Amino acid sequence: MRLTLIHPAVGHQGRRPYIRVWQMEPLPPAVLAALTPPEVDIRFYDDRLEEIPYNEPTDLVAISVETYTARRAYQIASHYRRRGVPVVMGGFHATLVPEEVSQYAESIVVGEAEEVWPELIDDFRHGRLKARYQSSQRPKLERIRPRRDIFSGKRYLGLGLVEAGRGCHFHCEFCAIQAYFKNTQVRRPIDDILADIREHPRPLYFFVDDNITSNLKQAKDFFRALIPLKIRWVSQASINAAHDEEFLQLIRASGCQMLLMGFETLNPTSLKAMNKEFNTMRGGYDQALANLRKHKIRLYPTFIFGYDEDTEETVQQTLDFCRSQRFYLAAFNHLTPFPGTPLYARLQEQGRLLYERWWLDPNYRYGMVPFRSRGLAAEEIARLCLRARQNFYGIPSIIQRALDFQVNSSSLFGLANFLTANLLLRREVVQRQKLPMGDAHDLAPLLPVAGGVAL
């Protein structure tokens, strides 16, 4: 049996190079490869880096779909299905809107694949592939080592992506993670993670957990086990962990170089609307930042704009805050209603969506705001986000933040990485704007399954 794994891009526009910071190793196909019986011949293609050889012989194609990559995934699936090759799709989007995804695949996986993928492969080999596979429980993630050999020869960023756990227990209104995992988290056994790291040495690791601190007790055990490895790592965490002194000591000792944290907004009213009031616990941002700075933890805070309280002054205050705090990196994004989230349901009920399915609408482009705020106009939100990025990643701001010798540039390694990361993001501030959903030059119509309706 021949199996082709595809990782789709968000979109393509002519021969313009794809966004470099988005070119990291994708773990989902590596996990699927590890779950596949060894006698199956596997080929992997990354749509962000290379042409897909549609005419190469294969028996089954598997595509992991996110909302931003849905249209491109359907284009790719349509090309294979016109050649008589069946397609199976999974991932976040297949779980959040399974009825839509099932229009473009012979089979879909709803939820996580670990418990059902071997069954799906066996069913396909015996000619009894079902239209839907869905596990009845969260997987245990034991003895699953992603097959990184499928990445051989591909030009990814130098980060080593490693998964320690999945999910988050918070209930943020806009977050697709909580909708997908139902506010739960499962973690890999520590020994499995350590073995993964030892087998694939890298100068810097990115633990891709949705919230590495969701279960602080288990996280601390993991950090203790990391200390002897003497690695450098970055990850994503919730800001409440910044008030735990033992946690801060452990991440520093275990090699933490930077944490991405969802600050989201400086406005308490907007935080309440997001269900993120925990951001203001124990003295709020000021105390949390003082704690992190004491332990020399670099920060990549993310902010979102588009809640009804936001104004032009809100964006400017946030930008001034980020520059005054000399953050290592920062993200200024517009609010995005992902399907399946409480935010999407609320905006849909209020009649405030500008596109029923923005991810499929041919008029939608990356960076556009797909809903009506009661404050700023959609176009104004997008403009202000872009302006904030241009300012933060402007040369004066980069120099100002590089002069933070206590945290950002505390070593030559730190300074080199600071400049590399900031100049890379500076180059791509405008590049990602107006990127189409899907390949703008792929004009072939999407091919729905028999009896399906083209969307």
Report the CATH number at residue 115: 3.40.50.280
Residue 8's Cβ-count burial label (10 Å; 0-12, 13-18, 19+) is buried
Nearest 5°: phi and psi at 163? -100, 125
Nearest 5°: phi and psi at 294? -60, -35
Cβ atoms of 84 and 61 closer than 8 Å:
no
What residue type is 425 in one-letter code?
A: L
Looking at the structure of the chain, the number of domains it has is: 2
Mean of the per-residue pLDDT values for the chain? 94
Quote the tokens at residue 229: 């490895």
Euclidean distance between CA atoms 344 and 351, whole angstroms: 10
Mean pLDDT computed over 362-387: 96
CATH number of residue 218's parent domain: 3.80.30.20
| Same domain as 297, residue 176 | yes
Asked whether the predicted pLDDT for residue 438 surpasses 70, the reply is: yes
Residue after which a domain boundary falls, among 123, 140, 157: 140
Asked whether the predicted pLDDT for residue 455 surpasses 70, the reply is: no
Cβ atoms of 336 and 303 closer than 8 Å:
no
Structure confidence at residue 185 (pLDDT): 87
Nearest 5°: phi and psi at 35? -85, -10
| Same domain as 222, residue 316 | yes
| Same domain as 246, residue 154 | yes
Per the domain annotation, does 322 fall within a domain? yes
Per the domain annotation, does 99 fall within a domain? yes
Residue after which a domain boundary falls, among 91, 116, 140: 140
Residue found by looking up tokens 């590089």 in the block: 402
Owning domain of residue 380? 148-428
Residue after which a domain boundary falls, among 99, 123, 140: 140
| Same domain as 50, residue 18 | yes
Which percentage of the chain shows pLDDT scores above 90? 83
Q: In this predicted model, what pLDDT tens digit does every residue of 224-236 receive, in sequence order?
A: 999 999 999 999 9
Q: In this predicted model, what pLDDT tens digit does every residue of 120-164 receive, in sequence order?
A: 999 999 999 999 999 888 888 888 899 999 999 999 998 999 999
| Same domain as 165, residue 122 | no
Distances (CA, A) of 13 to 54, 219, 339: 20, 41, 25
Cβ atoms of 274 and 315 closer than 8 Å:
no
Place 413 in a pLDDT band, splitting at 50, 70 and 90.
confident
| Same domain as 348, residue 285 | yes
CB atoms within 10 A of CB 307: 25
Scanning 90-207, the segments in alpha helix (DSSP H) are: 92-96, 98-101, 117-125, 176-181, 190-199
Per the domain annotation, does 444 fall within a domain? no
Q: Find residue 7's DSSP bridge partners.
A: 46
Per the domain annotation, does 455 fall within a domain? no
Structure confidence at residue 207 (pLDDT): 96
| Same domain as 166, residue 130 | no
Place 17 in a pLDDT band, splitting at 50, 70 and 90.
confident
Task: Determine the distance from the C-alpha atom of residue 192 to the mean position of all C-alpha atoms in its chain, rounded to a whole number.
Answer: 23
Structure confidence at residue 354 (pLDDT): 97
User: Residue 454 gets which letter from DSSP?
Assistant: -
Structure confidence at residue 216 (pLDDT): 87
Per the domain annotation, does 220 fall within a domain? yes
Per the domain annotation, does 394 fall within a domain? yes
| Same domain as 210, residue 85 | no
Euclidean distance between CA atoms 184 and 175, whole angstroms: 13
Structure confidence at residue 243 (pLDDT): 93
Place 451 in a pLDDT band, splitting at 50, 70 and 90.
low
H or E element that contains 132 = strand 132-134
According to DSSP, the β-strands at 41-46 and 87-90 are unpaired
Structure confidence at residue 178 (pLDDT): 83
Place 365 in a pLDDT band, splitting at 50, 70 and 90.
very high
| Same domain as 403, residue 291 | yes
Quote the tokens at residue 411: 């070593």
| Same domain as 136, residue 84 | yes
Structure confidence at residue 283 (pLDDT): 79
According to DSSP, the β-strands at 205-207 and 185-187 are unpaired
Per the domain annotation, does 449 fall within a domain? no
Quote the tokens at residue 311: 């104004």
Asked whether the predicted pLDDT for residue 454 surpasses 70, the reply is: no
Quote the tokens at residue 341: 């989230």
Euclidean distance between CA atoms 41 and 394, whole angstroms: 48
Place 192 in a pLDDT band, splitting at 50, 70 and 90.
very high
Mean pLDDT computed over 259-270: 94
Per the domain annotation, does 446 fall within a domain? no
Q: Find residue 198's DSSP bridge partners.
A: none
Mean pLDDT computed over 437-455: 82
Euclidean distance between CA atoms 209 and 150, whole angstroms: 22
Place 280 in a pLDDT band, splitting at 50, 70 and 90.
confident
Mean pLDDT computed over 14-42: 93
| Same domain as 389, residue 296 | yes
Q: Find residue 93's DSSP bridge partners.
A: none
Cβ atoms of 59 and 80 closer than 8 Å:
no
Asked whether the predicted pLDDT for residue 38 surpasses 70, the reply is: yes
SS3 assignment, position 35: helix
Torsion of CA 236, 238, 239, 243, to 10 degrees: -100
| Same domain as 210, residue 68 | no
Quote the tokens at residue 82: 């016109």
Residue 320's Cβ-count burial label (10 Å; 0-12, 13-18, 19+) is exposed
Residue 405's Cβ-count burial label (10 Å; 0-12, 13-18, 19+) is exposed
Residue 271's Cβ-count burial label (10 Å; 0-12, 13-18, 19+) is buried
Quote the tokens at residue 45: 């293609």
SS3 assignment, position 150: helix
Pick from 322, 305, 323: which is nearest to 384 by CA?
A: 305
